[in-house]
Amino acid sequence: MSDPAVTLKDEIKQAIVRCLRLPIAPETIEDGAPLFGDGLGLDSIDVLELVLEIERTFGVAITDEETGNKVLRSVETIAAHILAHRSGEGARNAT
């Protein structure tokens, strides 16, 4: 049986590539690599698309810029946010 956290990270990578139409394979995105700047190189327009995709695909909202800055750092931070909200811990673990 596979690790749910690993499966979630794979799903996040697939969602990133799909929604942003990136010309890369999802498995080439490292879990801890920055999504913006020197990392994957995403920009502010990509943020909007990614926030909508996370909400659509995983049912988890990113409601403000401060949360977005914390959550959208890497695949790992997105996964942690989704897992926190799925477990009912919500805003307590969003920091």
* Residue that is written with structure tokens 């990133």 in the block: 16
Tens of pLDDT along 51-70?
999 999 999 999 999 999 99
Average pLDDT over residues 11-26: 96
Predicted model pTM: 0.85
Q: What residues contact residue 36 under an 8 Å CB cut-off, 6+ apart?
A: 42, 43, 46, 72, 73
- Beta partners for 42? 36
Domain boundaries 4-93, corresponding CATH code? 1.10.1200.10
The whole-angstrom separation of Cα 35 and Cα 18 is 15
Q: Where do the structural domains in the chain lie, given as residue ranges?
A: 4-93
